[in-house]
Structure formats: C-alpha cells, structure tokens
Chain A
Amino acid sequence: MSLSEPRPGTATRETLPGPSIDFWKHRHVLDLDDFSREETDLVFEIAEGMVEILDRDVKKVPTLRGKTIATIFFEPSTRTRASFELAAKYLGADTISLDAVKSSVAKGESLIDSLRTLQALEVDAIIMRHPCSGAPYIAAHNLDTSIINAGDGWHAHPSQGLLDIFTMRQQLGDLKGRKAVIVGDILHSRVARSNIWGTRHYGMKLILCAPPTLIPRGLPEMLERCSLSHVTIEYDLDSAIKNADIVMPLRLQKERQQSGLISSLREYIQGYQINAARLAGAKPDVLVMHPGPMNEGAEISPEVAYGARSLIEQQVTNGVAVRMALLYLIAGGKNK
C-alpha cells in the first residue's frame, strides 16, 4: 500500500458524506454567525473522520493533492498557524506561508495588495489572521479566492469556536441542557464571540463571566438583537460556575492592567481565576477548556490546567481535525 493511498474504511473524499454536502454553501469561513445547525454538524461529522486519520501512524491522505493552501498571518501566532498548516499537509495539499508581520506589510503594502498577490499565485484558499476586526471580510468582498478566517481582531475565530464545540460534544455527547461558562476578557475575545454564535444551535446555556470592565457595554443589546437568548452575563464567578459542565477561562493579557481595565492581577485572581477551590462549586465532573495560549497562574492555576478535568490537549488535537474538515469543505469541494 502506498503512503498516499487511504486505508479502506477511513475518511477520504470518496467515503466522506457525499450527497448531504450539497447544502454547504460557504465559499469562505468568516464566522459562525452564518453557519446553520446542519452545516456545523457536517463539519463535526467530517472532523470525526479526520480524528481517525490523526490516530494513524501515517497521517497523510490525498484528498487535497494538487491544491495549494496559503496562510498569511498579519499578527504573530504559532498554534493556530501550525494547526492549519498541519491540517493542510495531512490532506495532501501544498502549503505556502507568509509572515506578513515581517514582510511586505512592513514596507507599506496594503492588505488588499498582499492578498491579491496570493490570489495571482492561484492558491485555492487563503487562511488569514489579522489584528483588525473585519479584515477577512474586506478580503472576501474584494477577492475571488476562498478566505478562511484564522482570527480577526476582537471579532471572530470560527475554527476555534468549532473545535471548542466539537470537543464538548466529544466528551458530553448531546449538549442539550449543558452549561458552559467562559470566564475573563470577553471584551477583547474573538474566541468568546465565535463561541456565542457556534453554541446557539445546541440547546445549551452559555454564561459569560468577567469584571464589568471586561464586558462590552453593548453586549446585552447585541445578544437580544441577534436572538442569542442562550447567553447570559454574570459578574460573580461563584454564582456563574454553579452546576457548570464546562469552564473555559480566557487568556488575561498583561496590558489590561496598564490600561486600567483591571486594577491589579491580585484582584483579578481573587475574583476570576479558575483553580481547584473555585471548581468545587461546579459539577464534580466539570471539564476545563482553554483556547490557549495560557497565562498560568493568572486566569488558570497550573493544577487545573494539567489536572484530570482538563481538555486542553484534546482541544489542540481536535483543532487539527476540525481545520482538516474545513479545508476539505472549502478547497476540496466539487464547486471548484
């Protein structure tokens, strides 16, 4: 058996869901706000097949052979970038990777020009991260190539939202009636925003918990306007965490103290750190997730981060599987 040949019974383009894929209408993956339940489920179904591939000794399948996937990161990142690139490579695609932080942008090239160059190189999809909210939308409005948003400003991180929900479902099965708490810097968090949208189809409750300075003022109205009634806001962590099935602290960046959003790290830890004592108020089998990178000792204590209830490593593995599923749907479809 050749290295590139898939084993029987594993997920390839032939055995992946065929007919049901017809309702997949996305040329881009910008956020989860326009993902239906069926579309999200489809990603998860395909990702399950990908998890199986990731368990093998030889992880490479030929699904995207001959396709080229570009990553362009306008903001430093190691994990998400590595995850996407591995996902593309495991599917047999060629990858090119541009570090826009150091290259052309520093010379004054505009966002659109950088991306047009990639488009002219005939890549099949562009995976982009950008510090400005909405940058991938500007790209999608001005280019023909498929854009996958790997994080834009405070706005969205759809592949992270998908891998988080995928991980929850892997552990808990049906999420109906489950309660998840996202704790911390909601104001600046694209992960929180994508999770808000992604979880809306699954009948679960999502609580956002932070000091008031880290919750955007317009959030309650936004939740109401967008019919996101499964989300509530809670300032007190001990009440938020009561009977929680999942707790997800967000990274607390050091700059937040300088800008006055938190008065001191000490006070933040007292009020909002996820540690063993805090988790006592949750369900006994509560699961702990973290989108990374962690700031251990700040938003999460090491004993919890590496404890038995932690899913943080599974999230990383699942991230590759979910991104493989997205690449398959975006670059491998017959619409090309």
Chain B
Amino acid sequence: MTNDHLLIKNVRILDPAAGAEETGDILVAEGKILKTGKDLSAAGAAIIDASGLIACPGFIDLHCHLRQPGYENKETIATGAAAAARGGYTTICCMPNTNPPLDSAATVSYVRDIASKDAPLVKILPVGCITAGRAGRELTNMIELATAGCIGFSDDGSPVSDSRIMSLAMENAAVLNLPVIDHCEDINLSQGGHMNDGWVAVRLGLKGIPAAAEEIMVARDIALCELTGARLHVTHMSTAGSTQLVRNAKQRGLKVTCDVTPHNLTLTHERVMKVQDDPRTPLAYDTNARVTPPLRAPADIAALIRGITDGTIDAIATDHAPHTIEEKLCEFENAVSGISGFETAFGVLMSLVHTGRISLNALLTCLTTGPASILRNGTGTLKAGACADLALLDVDQEWTVDVQDFLSKGRNTPYAGCKLKGLVVATISGGRLSFRHNSLRIS
C-alpha cells in the first residue's frame, strides 16, 4: 500500500448514478475509486472519519467564468478553481467570453496550460466560441476547437441572433457530437433591460427583460435542433415558458438538455428591491442581484422546481461570474451582471431540500450525473474504477456567508451575510484533497 491511498470511513454514500445509498467506507487508490463497502481497511492509508457526512460524486459545473485571460482583476484560473473546489466542484466548464475569447485553438490551449499548471486538481473544461470574437457573424474553426479540447460551443452572453449562422453551427456540432450551449435571449426584445420585466421593474423605474426574450430563442433553438440533429443545451434557463418548451422537446425525443442556476431557483426579482422584509427599508437597487438572465417571478421558480422534479432540467450550473467591487458599486443600470456563485451554491441549494421543495437525490443528480451525462466523460459516479472525484457534505451544518472569506476574487453575491444550512466539508479530486474545511477529521 502506498501513501496515496485514502480511506473514507463511515460515510453515507449517495451515488445518484448507481441509484445506491449505503453507509460504509470508500477506498481510494491511485486517483481512482478502488471499492466501496463495509469495514474496509488499508494499511498506511490516510483515513478520513466521515461519520455524519455524505459522500457523493464531485460536483460538475457546466457554466462558469474564470476570466483568464483578460480579466485577471476579476478572477484567475487559480482563484476560480480554488473557489470551485471549496464549493464541492471537481469538474468545471469555463465559458469563452475571456479577452481574447476562446475562439481559436491557441487561446483554448493557453487556458488548458494555465489550468494544468495553476489548478491541477480541478478538471477545467473549456467551452469554445460559436463565432469569431463572439460577434455572431463568422463561425469559428469548430473542428480545431474540438481537437483543442472544447467540450461544447457557446457565445454565452452574446447569443447568435442570426438563425442561419446558428443552424450552420449546429450542423457542425452535430457531426462533432458536441453540444451547442446557448444563452437564449432575443437581444432586440431584451435591449436596454436591466431586470425582470414585471411589477418590481415598474416600481423601481427600470427597464424590464421579458420572459419572452428567452422563450423566443429557446423555441428557435429547439426548431434548429430538430432541423440539424444537433445536441442543444439551454444554459441558465430562467422562465416557466422555457421549461415547458424544453419539456415538450424532450417528449418529442429531441436531443435537448438544460441547466438552471442556484440563484434563479431561490431568489425572485423582489430581491433587487429589498434586502430585508421591512417595508420601510429604502429600496435597495442591489447591484449584487443584477444577473443575466434576471431573477424572475415566483411562478418561474415554481416551474423550474417542477422541472427538476420531473427530470426536465438535467443540471444545475452556477454561472459563477466574479466581478470587482467597483463594477458593482455603482448605479444599477451601469452595474455588470453576474454572481460569484461557486462557494455558496451547495448551501443555497440545500435550502430547497430543507424546505422539502426538492429531494436530496434530485439535487445531487443535477450536480453530478445530470451534467456528466451531457459531458459524456465518465465522471459523476462513485463506481469502482471511476476517477476519485468526490464531495463530502454536511447537510445540516449552518454557516454564514462571509464574502471577505471567499477564495474567489469575486465578492459579488446577493447571499452575503445569509445564513445557510449545508456545507461542503471536503472535495477530493482525482484522489487528492482539493479542499478541506477545518472541521474535517483526517489521520
């Protein structure tokens, strides 16, 4: 036995891929899961006493922003990966809206080089651009990007408006068998909007982004998916109407998948207006609640939760979008969109489990096997022989979000100061600890 053996004792093992739940031990060796079972032992192995904890496959994030190259003041691959590991993530897919964007093999290789040097423990999978410069006009060299290691294509944030260009991209992606990951937004309809189109926007005098702006593009993309046979992944879906469109498409057997964010599942547009429930608190205009797609109405949240329960929604993705303080300490209309999400995702999502709105199994499915089935790379399981990517969770641990303590450079979160129940105690990536909370008992 070498000392890279790791034995996790007395842990409640939840592996949504296997549909199994048992309490026992997990033995990890040479970066892989050797076996799971009762009363395992291994001489010389490091032992984690995980009684009271849950072990599940490491979380997989289909949508995050690591900001390198170009915006290292917001985040670097190193700080982003550290934050991801703290959040329980072992695999993260980074969006291509860097500067320069990931529209060539050279920039994709740069990201992968930095990732293997600065963040060797977290699997960082780049998403390549659909069009050059994310400008929506000329297709990138998609074969070259796929060869360089891109796991899908997206112009995230600047969606391809031209349906012809999008159909061509999908035809190429279909042959490569990689998903087109679309941020669905009709930018003519959403133009100049700052938050959800609804009563709160009227109250605040802000221009709204109607749900229809998203749904029009979801409907178009589904039509193009049917036309081309490509795999379509609708990312950070936010409305009831989109959920229904995806549900129908799945029922028709189309290759459509989707993800939602923790914040779109837990916060409504009212969060922009108020921080507390006290009606006499002056309007907040909280720029930390500014995000694209915007925080929506309660009916949208209810529909998204139904979508998780009935399997319409495949994954929960953070859309981790770190920004500097100055970019948020300004007028709401001038603030950048986005939430630093890695470090709060699990605690935030557990509120849905603790209030009985979704099951723990459904949540873990959306964080592990769901996204793994879109990446098709064999991650997201604790079966013997699988890569030892695990998260150890204390579902009842209460903690308070302290942004000063974040590993991410981005402190932009509407959950600052919130009390959460549910903590990632350790993250194991390829058999090695990529994050450990100080409460972890290891010998």
Contact = CB atoms under 8 A, between A and B. Distances in A.
Interface stretch (A47-55, A83-91, A212-220): A212-220
B199 A132 contact: no
A132 B333 CA distance: 6
B176 interface: no
B208 A218 contact: yes
A24 interface: no
Interface stretch (B2-10, B124-132, B158-166, B281-289): B281-289
A134 B197 contact: no
A179 interface: no
Interface in A255-298: none
Contacts of B201: 216, 218
A227 to B, nearest CB: 11
Nearest to A130: B331
Contacts of B206: 133-134, 153-155
Contacts of B40: none
A63 to B, nearest CB: 27
B198 A110 contact: no
Interface in B197-219: 197-208, 210
A107 interface: no
Nearest to A224: B199
Contacts of B333: 132-134, 153
Contact of B329 (A112, A216, A225, A226): A112
A250 interface: no
A133 B272 CA distance: 13
Contacts of B331: 111, 130, 132, 134-135, 138
B332 interface: yes
A224 B200 CA distance: 12
> A interface, by DSSP: helix, strand, loop or mixed?
mixed
B39 interface: no
B334 interface: yes
A113 B313 CA distance: 44
Interface string A201-226: 00000000000000011110110111
B252 interface: no
Given A110-B330, A133-B333, A141 B208 contact: no
Interface in A111-149: 111-112, 130, 132-135, 137-138, 140-142
A28 B203 CA distance: 19
A221 B270 CA distance: 13
Contacts of A219: 199, 202
Nearest to A219: B202
A251 B367 CA distance: 53
A154 B197 CA distance: 15
B326 interface: yes
B205 A133 contact: yes
A contact residues, range = 20 to 34
Contact of A137 (B210, B280, B282, B329): B282
A34 interface: yes
A110 B203 CA distance: 25
Contacts of A216: 201-202, 208
A42 interface: no
B205 A222 contact: no
Given A34-B280, A110-B326, A111-B331, A137 B202 contact: no
B285 A138 contact: yes
B285 A134 contact: yes
Contacts of B285: 133-134, 137-138
A155 B204 CA distance: 6
B197 A132 contact: no
Contacts of A140: 282
A30 B283 CA distance: 9
Given A137-B284, A221-B198, A225-B199, A156 B329 contact: no
B330 A218 contact: no
Contacts of B207: 154
A60 interface: no
Given A110-B326, A132-B333, A155 B205 contact: yes
Given A153-B333, A190-B205, A221 B199 contact: yes
Nearest to B287: A138
A193 interface: yes
A154 B329 contact: no
Nearest to A74: B331
B182 to A, nearest CB: 25
Given A132-B331, A153-B205, A154-B206, 15 more contacts: A28-B282, A30-B282, A110-B329, A112-B330, A130-B331, A133-B333, A134-B332, A134-B333, A135-B331, A140-B282, A155-B206, A217-B202, A217-B208, A222-B199, A224-B199
State the 3 A-B residue pairs at the shortest beta-carbon distance, nearest first.
A155-B205, A134-B285, A133-B205
15 contacts: A30-B283, A34-B280, A130-B331, A133-B206, A134-B206, A140-B282, A141-B284, A142-B329, A153-B205, A153-B333, A154-B207, A155-B205, A193-B205, A224-B199, A226-B203
